[in-house]
Amino acid sequence: MPLRVKPTLRDRIAGAGRPLFGGWICSGSPVMAEIMAGSGLDWLMIDMEHGPNSLESVQLQLQIAAAYDVSTVVRVPANDAVWIKQVLDLGAQTIMVPMVQTAAEADTAVAHASYPPRGHRGVGSALARSGRWNRIEGYLQNASEHVSVIVQVETLAGVENARAIAEVPGVDGVFVGPSDLAASMGLIGQQTHPDVAAAVARAFDEVAAADTPVGINAFDPAVARGYADDGAAFLLVGADVSLAARGAEALASTFIPDADDRRRESY
């Protein structure tokens, strides 16, 4: 009997009929990954760009999340053939590639994630978790069914090229990053500035015109619901480290009158 494999985030989006809400795993902690995986969220992003993750820690988190009804995404540190090859061989079914600004860069990301003739991903699935050590029947021939590629648009140049990026064959979704987008516009730290909001809306429209799912992160529930109403198909609405930090702060403030002062002095 062929080994059953979970659907990719691309497939989950296609069959959901509603926006998918996910959590960001930044800590590198397998315990936090399991807590998040069992929370009821639709998907998780394991972060190698800003999180303290190694290949070994990513594989462990993928193995842990596999026991739960949740889709996983690994954000690689860069649009790099070696990183993408190794992460896919760890068994990541969906990758997110940061800082994609042109259609050519998006095409490169897809090529990194694809076996020949579409791309140049190295063939090592018999040795790796990706093909379950040759237990997934036809993995090499049907690898595109097991892998989805999300690219990030997070600069003004990326917004200007968003439709062309979204139209690249093999790009399964475009994820807008409002923090870096704001920074690229000279508005660092002002993700809700009207000019940033207008750029996000433009990116949404351009990606939608290509009939490609668009996603975004927003930790404010009202902002996240607004993005969902505007057409976001997949959203990150919280991060393990932020949830722990805010929860710990609330706990301290409940019992300690000068907790706010102590936090300011501890930096």
Tell me which residues are annotated as active site: 50
- What residue type is assigned to position 57 of the chain? S
Locus of tokens 């190794």:
86
Residue 147, both tokens? 């892998």
CB 239 within 8 A of CB 25: yes
Q: How far apart are CA 22 and CA 235, in angstroms?
A: 6
Q: Please give the DSSP secondary-structure letter assigned to residue 6.
A: P
User: 118: closest CA among 143, 86, 91, 82?
Assistant: 143
Q: How far apart are CA 117 and CA 169, in angstroms?
A: 14
SS3 state at 188: coil
User: 154: closest CA among 185, 198, 117?
Assistant: 185
Strands (E), the chain: 20-25, 43-47, 71-75, 94-97, 148-153, 171-176, 214-217, 234-239
Q: Is 38 exposed, middle or buried (0-12, 13-18, 19+ CB in 10 A)?
A: middle
CB 74 within 8 A of CB 94: yes
CB 71 within 8 A of CB 6: yes
- What residue type is assigned to position 162 of the chain? A
Locus of tokens 């991060």:
239
